[in-house]
Amino acid sequence: MSYNIYRLIGAKLQCERTRKGIKQEYIAKQLKTNRTKISKIENGSVKISISVLLIYCKILELSLPELFTDIDKYF
């Protein structure tokens, strides 16, 4: 089965963000962008760069191995 990796990453980021009670606005401010861009990242409609992904994970206190563990269940 083929998955869009950006949708999988976005879904996992969204799940972790909401689980931790962090709003998109906060993420956007930390990444110096807007809430709409965060929404697009989380729904996989835009590609996320490695540098942005690393910062996003740092904000969520999520390691890259944790991000990719069981990532396919978020699709």
Which residue segments constitute the domains of the chain, with CATH numbers given?
5-59 (1.10.260.40)
| Distance, CA of 37 to CA of 27 (rounded, Å) | 10
| Distance, CA of 30 to CA of 33 (rounded, Å) | 8
Q: What is the pLDDT of residue 71?
A: 80
The tens place of each residue's pLDDT in the chain, 75 residues long, gives: 446 899 999 999 999 999 999 999 999 999 999 999 999 999 999 999 999 999 999 999 999 999 998 887 765
Q: What is the pLDDT of residue 61?
A: 97
Q: What is the pLDDT of residue 7?
A: 92
The model carries a pTM of 0.89
Largest CA distance in the chain: 36
Tell me the three state secondary structure of residue 66.
helix
| Distance, CA of 33 to CA of 36 (rounded, Å) | 8
